[in-house]
Chains A and B, each alone.
Chain A
């Protein structure tokens, strides 16, 4: 041990001059293959991001002014004094909790649990139907739901006999878009949970059953703790997807009637691209980003990932 150390320290002064450049060169040669990827990331990912963070603090407009001034926090002050924006944030939170956290997440979990251990035919049919809803393009899905819920649509044709028909997109627009988004996004959660459940060792469940645990207790104390990592990743992914959801709502209600279903992405689109206030719109995007981060923090806090 000591001999080895002595030999090493003895060698350093001799080769010291060459050692540093060699390490740099090695690091460089390792990074070189990553170069193109890093460059692309910088241009197409970091670039727009930094640019949009910058424009959030300016009065940049699509038209109407030849120059752009730095306005500091003016956009943010205006935003929180704007009741329509605050309302859009509330609607966004309702939309995310309703369609992602409750709808897609619970329904996906339920489907995955029910399908576990079913025969192949049942699984194939159910998977096919659910994933079918997922592969349909957003705009097509939006239009299908519009046609279903519209005043002279399919649902009213059925309910007409019961005297319940009404224009659902007018009377309960938020519920309509939440249902549509749940319908469309459940497949993703189902797939994530199916994969996670197949990793739960059957011996554990059997052992718990032998110990007299009911099926609810087996779910609560065995299955869920084992798949909690998948739950967190799933929640995060679908939350972020749903927060930015635009096409579905735009096609179904256009944010209306009035502003009754105008979530922040729709309001942002209106301000940035219909009223040409790019700076104000990007400032809203930043707020949306903070909202996404808040959701992620809540998930991480609620579900402890590390074994204590």
Chain B
């Protein structure tokens, strides 16, 4: 009797273990099917429906141009992080792997190493449009073997938004273009002194904002110093540098001297939405270090229509630390279309990619999805440049932009950067001790042979 009860108890605990992990897996009943069917996997989530619209149109075009072929669209309903998880789960089995997929450039190296993607060089060499892509765009999806694994769909850049009305009230002349971090801080100080009740500056920070904190926050600072996060010549991570310390100090300064939002608010996972839909439109935030996609929220079809945004907000490039060349900095992400290595008909799959990326379709997508164009002919197109008043400005930042180190361990290192930022902004650690913790963690994640020793 006793023994039997123990078995019941053990079975119960086993159930828990099974439920806790298998409950999260994705079930996708699709298959790559015959060679005449092309499956396309991409993200559709919340207000990000533009890609789905584009794909529907591409499906019609493709099926018309290639009689006998069928395009099977597989929109994945998930936020960015979950989308990637679901896509990799689909790629784990040949029967569910898509032929064409929408891939994030910063994780593409992981998928190349895992063998999920097919090299496209032989197709690209005979595709005349490839020469229209900018050199940065061409380099975005190159694996460590030197082959190209994806065609860029558009990118984004980051800069400072500022509220012209508030600036005028505080007596700062507009248009405003800070030349160094000190200029940014002094403008914020002026706002703080002259306009109580207005948050002077927002720099995303802490785990709540996730990758937004790392990229829009710390990396926008770090890449404006003499240092970077990863040295591609020595192939080492650089968590412990004067630039990192200066960046953490900047975070500390804005959050502990009342220039940045309340720490409790800034750590809320939904803070990004609050900034875009509440703080900026209601003129409660004077300066915001944010992404080129923000105006998409304020379009008539966006989540928070705000027709007056273009007359209220100005944009300024993020200056380098002391104004050193090239004077300003930016960070870029971006997505590419790739062909799956399991695809039964790679030529047909690539034909879909090249159709999606021809001038007409790329132009259309860059406009509807507020993307920064990566084709030179699209970037020069008057229709593209008139999308919204900031498109030209953000497209120009491509010249000074940086990409994140696209390695498998990056998400974990990014997480540790957020932890470091959070401990600094809440005052739990000084910037130097947060940096030494960060260095220790990066050593553990990447292996000490891949990390540059502190300087």
Contact = CB atoms under 8 A, between A and B. Distances in A.
B9 A300 contact: yes
Interface string A49-71: 10010000000011111100000
Interface string B83-102: 00100110110000000000
Interface string A253-274: 0101111000001001110111
A244 B16 contact: yes
A296 B88 contact: no
Given A236-B12, A254-B269, A273-B24, A48 B114 contact: no
B5 A300 contact: yes
Contacts of B411: 274-276
A151 B415 contact: no
B378 interface: no
A243 interface: yes
Given A62-B89, A65-B114, A273-B24, A45 B267 contact: no
User: Could you say which of A61, A237, A259, A293 has the most chain B C-beta atoms within 10 Å of its C-beta?
Assistant: A293
Contacts of B12: 236-237, 240, 292, 296
Nearest to A278: B21
B208 A61 contact: no
B82 to A, nearest CB: 8
A155 B2 CA distance: 48
B311 interface: no
Contact of B264 (A49, A62, A167, A244): A167
A164 B85 CA distance: 41
B50 to A, nearest CB: 25
Contact of A269 (B2, B10, B24, B111): B24
Contacts of B301: none
Given A63-B111, A273-B85, A285 B17 contact: yes
A257 B426 CA distance: 11
Nearest to A60: B92
A281 interface: yes
Contacts of B9: 236, 293, 296-297, 300
Given A243-B16, A288-B17, A257 B113 contact: no
A99 interface: no
Contacts of B415: 270, 274-275
Contacts of A115: none
Contacts of A151: 264-265
Contacts of A234: none
Contact of B408 (A63, A237, A269, A282): A63
Given A170-B264, A274-B81, A293-B10, A64 B408 contact: yes
B454 interface: no
B308 interface: no
A48 B22 contact: yes
A293 B11 CA distance: 9
B110 interface: yes
A102 B64 CA distance: 65
Contacts of A32: none
Contacts of A270: 415
B20 A265 contact: yes
Contacts of B204: none
A293 to B, nearest CB: 5
Given A63-B110, A274-B81, A293-B10, A240 B15 contact: yes
A63 B267 contact: no
Interface in B182-236: 206-208
Contacts of A297: 9
For A151, A257, A281, the residue with the greatest tally of chain B CB atoms inside 10 Å of its CB is A257
Interface in B246-269: 264-265, 267-269
A119 B19 CA distance: 40
Contacts of A48: 18, 22
The 6 closest A-B pairs by CB, nearest first: A64-B408, A289-B17, A292-B13, A64-B110, A63-B110, A296-B9
17 contacts: A45-B18, A48-B18, A62-B92, A63-B116, A63-B408, A254-B208, A257-B208, A257-B422, A258-B206, A268-B20, A269-B24, A272-B24, A282-B21, A288-B16, A293-B10, A296-B13, A300-B9
Interface of A: 45, 48-49, 52, 61-66, 151, 167, 170-171, 236-237, 240, 243-244, 246, 254, 256-259, 265, 268-270, 272-276, 281-282, 285-286, 288-289, 292-293, 296-297, 300, 305-306
Interface of B: 1-2, 5-6, 9-10, 12-22, 24, 81-82, 85, 88-89, 91-92, 107, 109-111, 113-116, 206-208, 264-265, 267-269, 408, 411-412, 415, 419, 422-423, 426
Given A63-B113, A64-B114, A256-B269, 20 more contacts: A48-B18, A49-B18, A63-B88, A64-B111, A65-B114, A66-B114, A170-B264, A171-B264, A236-B12, A240-B13, A256-B267, A258-B426, A276-B88, A285-B17, A285-B20, A286-B17, A292-B16, A293-B9, A297-B9, A306-B2
